């Protein structure tokens, strides 16, 4: 297992990644699309996207406990649904 894999697999992310689309009211529509982990040496960030934003814009926000609970719950349910896929179908992770 590479260092990147161990960071994203077991550690809480330092940031949550969002796709933000402008709305008419100016508030923006925020959708979680992934998470990011700082490198131990502070010289970079690993970004893991679960979805790719249509416009290519990703916003990283520092993790807050209440957001983390929601994110972990979503990831758990996504992985459970993914394990139900038929063998040989879909992308291997």
Question: pLDDT tens digits, residue range 65-76?
Answer: 655 566 667 777
CB 17 within 8 A of CB 58: yes
Is 51 inside any structural domain? Answer: yes
Is 76 inside any structural domain? Answer: yes
Is 8 inside any structural domain? Answer: yes
Is 88 inside any structural domain? Answer: no
Is 15 inside any structural domain? Answer: yes
Query: Which comes out higher in pLDDT, residue 75 or 86?
Result: 75
pLDDT greater than 80 at residue 38? yes
Q: Domain total for the chain? A: 1
- Give residue 48's domain range: 3-82
Is 87 inside any structural domain? Answer: no
Tell me the pTM: 0.58
pLDDT greater than 80 at residue 8? no
| Whole-number Å distance between alpha carbons of 29 and 65 | 21
Report the chain's mean pLDDT, rounded to a whole number.
77
Read off the DSSP letter of residue 39: -
Q: Comparing C-alpha atoms, which of 76, 79, 64 is closest to residue 15? A: 64
């Amino acid at each position: 297992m590479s260092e990147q894999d161990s960071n994203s697999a077991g550690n809480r992310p330092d940031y949550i990644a969002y796709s933000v689309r402008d709305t008419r009211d100016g508030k923006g529509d925020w959708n979680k699309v992934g998470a990011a982990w700082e490198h131990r040496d502070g010289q970079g960030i690993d970004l893991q996207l679960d979805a790719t934003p249509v416009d290519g814009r990703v916003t990283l926000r520092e993790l807050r406990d209440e957001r983390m609970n929601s994110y972990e719950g979503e990831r758990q349910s996504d992985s459970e649904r993914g394990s139900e896929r038929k063998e040989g179908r879909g992308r291997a992770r």
